[in-house]
Structure 1
């Protein structure tokens, strides 16, 4: 199994906070997590991104100690956590529904874990006020939970964890219950809080936008395994598998067959009959292979001349206004449909259904995989 080392901006990899080695979890005959190995440097924001049922929650629960691995090892600060109960691990966890106590005020919620540990009352009060100030909620310890907003409740939940000074903070889709506008705001706020505390965050989500915005590194998980791990830029722009290309970001998916190979350039014929040229790693596909091509909507441009490769005559079939951009769909002469992200400014800003256009994209902007990977 490959052993992944995460490298985010200015992150040291010499002293990882979390190391998982061949971590596996079986439920009878079903393997939920399949020999996952990775390490996370101290102070980084690491997201596990994947669809429902891919194993990400099971992996997080093993890190927290709520489930025991079938095999493999899990170390925090160099110490194996196998057999260590949840309350003895240097981790805290923020749940999707926050699990705040409605009958307690904010200060008592934040200080709950310290009271369980037998910390003196004066020390609890000092640390509670200190951590509330760090999350931007000074002077609110006596307020009730029902007197604060959804975003403030998120910060209280984080404060309750951070007052325990964990080495690793685990977050189980904590933004899932928020409305869209608040969720967008909290993406930025969570990243700011993580940087302020300089604590390692391990965040699971099925929402690609959350992972792309907040993470230093992302692991894309599917069927119990990591398909790819890397920076948000690499995962989005250089997906290593067809699953990653289709799951992270929007993409046009075109079924095709390889008709010619010239070094690292492939010529393919789509099922609709249009020809396309793609730059791909050498020796990945051969003539006659079935392929799946992924092309981002923003990689396609509209042009006024036939110059260059991958230029097609097309007809606009739909126009959807989307604020700063429009999402248009075009059908080329062979019947292939392409979605294009179009700015609201420029000579093509006022397109209508039925308009004739020329589309163009560069060979290096598409990704190509064997069809059996999809």
Structure 2
């Protein structure tokens, strides 16, 4: 899929029909996108989808098979990594344990032949900006995991790159620190007003930090959009299933006229969706499809609330209640054996809900997305 990010700001990074082949395998398959200046752009996808290969091409560590890559309007094809206006933060940070913090941060400046006094001044300034004043003489092993992350970013930002590349930098941190660093990274990006290109397989990282997200699958971008667009209006079944949790309901098309897409489940339950929200698929009666529905869009009603032939209301029995703190996840089993998951706050119907209770699941026609199932 070829598209550009929906923003009118000038682009710091542009990729045009970028392809990378290894023998007969295409790791990156015709990717095109723009990253506006000063934005946080995430490339999200599963392991092996091509996102690291794409990042390495931007950095200059690998050359594209075809296509073009521009930074500030200048083509980077043939430009070596050390001549590109980019810096890169790796997952394992690659800090030098034999150097103190100031020496680590100033390493790139020394490589460029910057005067010692100027290095000291710039190192002090950038450490101040990342919230680590006065640590220049400390050793790397004297810092916490979050502080090491900020030193790695300071080492890049002291070089004043146009684009900062981040290769899953939170992957090695524990869960609590990872949650904290999501907020810190976004704040640092805004403070420096530098374009960040961030790759991850963790959809929560991308949703929290990004201005725009590109969802990558098998070497291609399936969708580029804001976190809200990618989450609430996924363009493909892959995006709907990969970004966030979703109930997946196999269905068959009954009718697609009058602005309503009418479906039925394997157990015969009628479902109705807003046809306009389902994209441009050419629906036909009898066609196989799959509905994706977020757990937070599902309501639970007391048993007997369903009406005869009522759409999107399916009776069932509580199969499990999983406590998650402020919310709980409730799994409901319908009479045909299918399962529906609802995410509910610890109030109302959930307060007294137990396994085995009879309930009815309900959801609004605008809340679900339906995608055709490929024949065969």
TM-score above 0.5, yes or no: yes
After the TM superposition, which residues 237-256 of structure 1 pair with which residues of structure 2 at under 5 Å, given as runs? 237-256=232-251
**Partner residue in 2 for 1:355:** 357
After the TM superposition, which residues 12-91 of structure 1 pair with which residues of structure 2 at under 5 Å, given as runs? 12-13=8-9, 15-91=10-86
| 1:306 and 2:306 are equivalent in the alignment | yes
**Partner residue in 2 for 1:235:** 230
In 2, the alpha carbon distance for the partners of 1:373 and 1:237 equals 26
In 2, the alpha carbon distance for the partners of 1:55 and 1:137 equals 35
**Partner residue in 2 for 1:197:** 192
**Partner residue in 1 for 2:147:** 152
* TM, length-normalised to structure 1: 0.96
TM-aligned CA distance change 1:269 to 1:285, over 3 Å: same
Q: Does the CA-based 8 Å contact 1:48-1:221 persist in structure 2?
A: yes
**Which secondary structure state, in structure 1, belongs to the residue aligned with residue 216 of structure 2?**
strand
**Which secondary structure state, in structure 2, belongs to the residue aligned with residue 347 of structure 1?**
helix
In 1, the alpha carbon distance for the partners of 2:172 and 2:95 equals 14
Q: Does the CA-based 8 Å contact 2:270-2:311 persist in structure 1?
A: no
Aligned-pair Cα RMSD in Å: 1.4
Q: Which segment drifts farther, 132-141 or 312-321?
A: 312-321
**Partner residue in 2 for 1:295:** 293
After the TM superposition, which residues 241-280 of structure 1 pair with which residues of structure 2 at under 5 Å, given as runs? 241-280=236-275
Instruction: Report the count of equivalent residues.
Output: 369
Deviation at 1:369, TM superposition (A): 0.4
Q: Does the CA-based 8 Å contact 1:267-1:278 persist in structure 2?
A: yes
Q: Which segment drifts farther, 268-277 or 175-184?
A: 268-277
In 1, the alpha carbon distance for the partners of 2:343 and 2:65 equals 46
**Partner residue in 2 for 1:178:** 173
1:223 pairs with 193, 218, 241, which one? 218
In 1, the alpha carbon distance for the partners of 2:44 and 2:219 equals 12
**Partner residue in 1 for 2:336:** 334
In 2, the alpha carbon distance for the partners of 1:345 and 1:203 equals 38
In 2, the alpha carbon distance for the partners of 1:31 and 1:310 equals 42
Q: Which segment drifts farther, 308-317 or 129-138?
A: 308-317
Structure 1 gap ranges (5+) = none
| 1:367 and 2:364 are equivalent in the alignment | no
